């Protein structure tokens, strides 16, 4: 049998190779801690760090397995100094392992120790094997987990392990940047030419070392002979050693208005693209969006049910569609039926665990199951509908070039009616037709269609959140004031209010509102309009009783009445990655107020209008005193949701000005 024929048979190759490796230049020697090692410090922006990653080192190699194929071997060593008790969380380590059928990734040679400096001597406490636990997170993921013993402030913790994997698609990614500063982070991959991977790099921190060295390696292949003698052949091929190092990596902590900080961490990941064995036809593994779309639509745990007749839906759909005059009305009825009659057990799944008929019978499922059922019902009603896969904001960005399914974690439905597209998610009871929760607006998504797959950009910049609050305050005839506040929140805020009211109830919700008014102010008469009609705007209203202190000559009144910004959402002095708001915003607050009997206006805030980056937004604060009343309006408008890191300082100053201005008060003085 020739090497060419044998290499075409998956599972018949055994790789064994040995090669010299360049001398590592790590700043530490793992397994040996000296008193001097405890002197490590971080200066500059990270000088207040709660922990320091002294060295983080990993290496991945391809090695032969006893099953006639290849294993990935990943060796990982890490040393961390704990500076404060608040960083004790870094002493809990989790190692996720992939499982598929009877195959599983394994951890070997796990060693972990805590080092404390006592009376000038290093005292080591080793991790007991009995303190290593295994948890099953899902059908494909298990987790090894342990916590370091004898943990104290100032301790150094260190661990090392070897992970073997039969899954060549799972070449270990590497994260150079974490929530704590890292003095040295290094990753090395020895990659034979017959395995081709796409390498994707993230983050803004430049490499200190980025080298690739090639060498010829003799590969010894063993073909198991079963009852007969094993067969052996040798050949030479090229292996490329890739080495990446980043020194003095700054900490990266999550700031407000961030989808997920992992989008901006310095890290690398890999996707198996193809096999190219010597003298063999290359085999494409990753595919393209056409083949990936076809594959998903044929899979039992995704789209196979969509092309079936699903005749059982006839009796279910007839009462839902009775009297519907056109496809849009039909689509709205089917959507409302699924949204209102089915409960979502979990969000964030790319696959269905049950057939859609089982989901229909049980009246519940994950978001993929519910929206695939929705798609099937729309198709059964002769309405064009396709599933859409996306990545939620908290899951991270997808890749526009490569069809990396691991980047996707959510399914919605796309309906086409009269050349117009509508995107639907029936997994949330408070969503209206053609509305999506804000988590879905994370950029690139794929519409899966066997004839013409396409993409769509679900961008937060396209989300316009309009909120209007009207306040009317009049004299009560008793020396005080009575008022009514009526607010119409934007769609996303309305969703949040509906969700909160569903979980806690009206009483608890308004109790929170009422608690915001004390002293001279009392709130009552709460009402909510269109709470159970998610397609309609939500209205929230309540009354106020305002009684100035009769023992004081001055009455201080904030015209925002608690509706303004109380603190700057951007507190950090600097930011190293973009600002990602969930939507563009336009918030208008207006107030008409009678001047209370027995008082005159002593001080009135000044009017102002501030532009943000010329045409990207503005803040206006307008106030006018009439003969016996005051007219007031505050408006904040930002025309987009996403801002570059270079805009952070100006955005911080903008909101700082808003907070300061909205806290200003009108001063009334008693007449003499």
The CA-atom distances, in angstroms, between 337 and each of 320, 330, 401 are: 7, 11, 37
The DSSP H or E segment spanning 652 is helix 648-662
403-421 tens-digit pLDDT: 989 899 999 999 999 999 9
Name 140's Cβ contacts closer than 8 Å, sequence gap at least 6.
Answer: 98, 99, 100
114-127 tens-digit pLDDT: 999 999 999 999 99
The pLDDT confidence band at residue 21, using thresholds 50, 70 and 90, is very low
Please classify residue 401 by burial: count the beta carbons closer than 10 Å to its beta carbon, then call 0-12 exposed, 13-18 middle and 19+ buried.
exposed
Q: State the DSSP string of 544-567.
A: EEE---TT-SEEEE-TTTT-S--S
Contact 274/194 with Cβ under 8 angstroms?
A: no
The CA-atom distances, in angstroms, between 616 and each of 587, 620, 636 are: 15, 14, 11
Tally the residues of the chain: 672
Which pair of structure tokens corresponds to residue 452? 């013409």
Range picked from 159-168, 190-199, 222-231, 497-506 for highest mean pLDDT: 159-168
- Whether the predicted pLDDT of 226 surpasses 90: no
Model pLDDT, residue 139: 80
The DSSP H or E segment spanning 380 is helix 367-380
Residue matched to tokens 């016996």 = 628
d(CA 200, CA 45): 28
Chain centre to alpha carbon of residue 433: 24
Residue matched to tokens 């806690």 = 504
| Residue 139 DSSP class | S
Instruction: Give the residue from 256, 152, 255, 251 showing the smallest Cα distance to 203.
Output: 251
3-state DSSP assignment of residue 411:
strand
Segment 563-579 shows an average pLDDT of: 92
Instruction: Give the residue from 551, 526, 554 showing the smallest Cα distance to 541.
Output: 526
Contact 650/638 with Cβ under 8 angstroms?
A: no
- Whether the predicted pLDDT of 320 surpasses 70: yes
The CA-atom distances, in angstroms, between 107 and each of 31, 80, 113 are: 18, 21, 17
- Whether the predicted pLDDT of 129 surpasses 80: yes
d(CA 426, CA 338): 6
Nearest-5° angle of CA 635, CA 639, CA 640? 130
Q: State the DSSP string of 229-254.
A: --EEEEEEEEEEEEEEEEEEEPP---
Instruction: Give the residue from 415, 313, 299 showing the smallest Cα distance to 352.
Output: 299
Q: What percent of the chain has pLDDT over 70?
A: 95
Return mean pLDDT, the chain: 91
Model pLDDT, residue 3: 34
- Whether the predicted pLDDT of 6 surpasses 60: no
Model pLDDT, residue 221: 64
| Residue 592 DSSP class | E
| Residue 256 DSSP class | S
The CA-atom distances, in angstroms, between 53 and each of 78, 82, 90, 157, 179 are: 8, 9, 10, 10, 10
Number of H helices, E strands in the chain: 8, 37
- Whether the predicted pLDDT of 178 surpasses 90: yes
User: Any idea which of 20-24, 180-184, 253-257, 585-589 has the lowest mean pLDDT?
Assistant: 20-24
Q: How many CA atoms lie within 13 A of 285 on its CB side?
A: 17
Contact 618/611 with Cβ under 8 angstroms?
A: yes
Model pLDDT, residue 7: 35
Q: Where are the alpha helices (DSSP H) in 476-615?
A: 491-515
Residue matched to tokens 């008409």 = 592
Contact 52/39 with Cβ under 8 angstroms?
A: no
262-297 tens-digit pLDDT: 999 999 999 999 988 877 888 888 888 999 999 999
The DSSP H or E segment spanning 165 is strand 156-165
Residue matched to tokens 């007449």 = 671
Segment 659-667 shows an average pLDDT of: 97
104-116 tens-digit pLDDT: 999 999 999 999 9
Q: What percent of the chain has pLDDT over 90?
A: 79
385-395 tens-digit pLDDT: 999 999 999 99
517-562 tens-digit pLDDT: 988 999 999 999 998 899 999 999 999 999 999 999 999 999 999 8
| Residue 181 DSSP class | -
Tell me the domains of the chain and their CATH numbers.
3-284 (2.60.40.3140), 289-458 (3.10.620.30), 464-670 (2.60.120.1130)
Model pLDDT, residue 17: 30
Strand-pair partners of 185: 56, 246
Give the dihedral of Cα atoms 66, 68, 70, 73; nearest 10 deg.
0
d(CA 467, CA 488): 6
d(CA 397, CA 628): 56
The DSSP H or E segment spanning 470 is strand 464-475
d(CA 463, CA 331): 23
d(CA 641, CA 110): 45
The pLDDT confidence band at residue 1, using thresholds 50, 70 and 90, is very low
The CA-atom distances, in angstroms, between 482 and each of 192, 477, 561 are: 78, 9, 13
- Dihedral of CA 351/411/448/289: which sign? negative
335-365 tens-digit pLDDT: 999 999 999 999 999 999 999 999 999 999 9
Which pair of structure tokens corresponds to residue 259? 């989808």
Model pLDDT, residue 216: 86
Q: How many CA atoms lie within 13 A of 129 on its CB side?
A: 5
Nearest-5° angle of CA 336, CA 340, CA 342? 115
Which pair of structure tokens corresponds to residue 156? 């150094």
The CA-atom distances, in angstroms, between 522 and each of 480, 481, 510, 550, 668 are: 12, 11, 12, 16, 19
Model pLDDT, residue 23: 43
Q: State the DSSP string of 283-328.
A: EESS--HHHHHHHHHH-TTTTGGGGS--TTHHHHHHHHHTT--SHH
The DSSP H or E segment spanning 651 is helix 648-662
Contact 357/365 with Cβ under 8 angstroms?
A: no
Nearest-5° angle of CA 646, CA 647, CA 652? 125
Which pair of structure tokens corresponds to residue 92? 């809990």
Instruction: Give the residue from 595, 589, 579 showing the smallest Cα distance to 640.
Output: 579
- Greater confidence, 505 or 172? 172
Please classify residue 295 by burial: count the beta carbons closer than 10 Å to its beta carbon, then call 0-12 exposed, 13-18 middle and 19+ buried.
middle
- Whether the predicted pLDDT of 249 surpasses 80: yes
């Amino acid at each position: 049998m020739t090497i060419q024929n044998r290499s075409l048979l998956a599972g018949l190759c055994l790789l064994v190779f040995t090669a010299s490796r360049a001398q590592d230049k790590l700043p530490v020697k793992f397994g040996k801690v000296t008193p001097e090692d405890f002197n490590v410090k971080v200066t500059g922006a990270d000088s207040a760090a709660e922990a320091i990653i002294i060295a983080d080192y990993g290496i991945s190699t391809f090695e032969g397995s006893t099953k006639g194929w290849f294993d990935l071997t990943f060796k990982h060593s890490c040393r961390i100094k704990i500076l404060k008790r608040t960083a004790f969380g870094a002493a809990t380590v989790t190692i996720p392992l992939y499982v598929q059928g009877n195959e599983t990734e394994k951890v070997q040679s796990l060693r972990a120790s805590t080092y404390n400096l006592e009376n000038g001597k290093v005292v080591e406490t080793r991790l007991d094997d009995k303190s290593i636990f295994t948890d099953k997170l899902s059908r494909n993921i298990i987790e090894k987990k342990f916590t370091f013993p004898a943990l104290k402030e100032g301790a150094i913790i260190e661990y090392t392990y070897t992970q073997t994997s039969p899954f060549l698609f799972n070449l270990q990614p590497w994260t150079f940047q974490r929530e704590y500063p890292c003095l040295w982070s290094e990753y090395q991959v020895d990659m034979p030419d017959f395995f081709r991977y796409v390498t994707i790099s993230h983050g803004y921190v430049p490499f200190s070392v980025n080298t690739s060295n090639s060498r010829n390696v003799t590969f010894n292949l063993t073909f198991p002979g079963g009852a007969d003698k094993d067969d052996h052949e040798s050949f030479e091929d090229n292996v490329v050693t890739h080495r990446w190092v980043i020194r003095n990596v700054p900490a990266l902590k999550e700031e407000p208005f961030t989808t997920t900080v992992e989008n901006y961490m310095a890290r690398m990941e890999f996707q198996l693209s193809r096999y190219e064995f010597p003298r063999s036809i290359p085999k494409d593994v990753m595919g393209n969006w056409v083949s990936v779309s076809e594959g998903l639509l044929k899979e039992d745990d995704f789209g196979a049910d969509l092309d079936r007749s699903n005749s059982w839906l006839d009796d279910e759909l007839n009462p839902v569609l009775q009297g519907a005059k056109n496809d849009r009305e039909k689509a709205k009825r089917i959507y409302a039926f699924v949204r209102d009659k089915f409960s979502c057990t979990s969000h964030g799944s790319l696959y269905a665990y049950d057939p859609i008929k089982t989901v229909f019978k049980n009246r519940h499922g994950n978001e993929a199951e519910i929206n695939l059922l929705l798609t099937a019902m729309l198709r059964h009603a002769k309405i064009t509908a396709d599933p859409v896969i996306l990545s939620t904001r908290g899951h991270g960005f997808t890749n526009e070039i490569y069809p990396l399914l691991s980047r996707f974690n959510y399914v919605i439905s796309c309906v086409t009616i009269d050349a117009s597209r509508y995107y639907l998610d029936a997994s949330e009871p408070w969503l209206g037709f053609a509305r999506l929760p804000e988590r879905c607006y994370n950029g690139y998504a794929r519409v899966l269609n066997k004839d013409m797959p396409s993409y769509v950009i679900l961008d937060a910049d396209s989300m316009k959140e309009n909120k209007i609050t009207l306040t009317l305050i009049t004299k009560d005839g008793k020396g005080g004031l009575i008022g009514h506040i009526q607010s119409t929140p934007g769609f996303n805020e309305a969703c949040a209010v509906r969700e909160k009211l569903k979980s806690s109830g009206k009483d608890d919700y308004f109790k929170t509102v009422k608690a915001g008014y004390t002293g001279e102010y009392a709130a009552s008469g709460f009402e909510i309009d269109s709470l159970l009609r998610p397609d309609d705007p939500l209205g929230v209203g309540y009354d106020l009783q305002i009684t100035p202190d009769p023992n004081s000559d001055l009455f201080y009144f904030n015209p925002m009445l608690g509706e303004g910004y109380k603190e700057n959402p951007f507190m950090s002095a600097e930011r190293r990655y973009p600002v990602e708001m969930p939507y563009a915003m336009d918030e208008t607050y207006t107030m008409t107020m009678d001047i209370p009997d027995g008082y005159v206006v002593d001080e009135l805030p000044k009017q102002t209008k501030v532009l943000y980056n010329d045409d990207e937004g503005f803040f206006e604060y307008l106030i006018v005193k009439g003969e016996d009343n005051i007219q007031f309006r505050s408006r904040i408008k930002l025309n987009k949701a996403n801002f570059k890191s270079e805009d952070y300082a100006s955005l911080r100053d903008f909101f700082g000005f808003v907070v300061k201005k909205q806290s200003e008060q009108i001063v009334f003085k008693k007449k003499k």
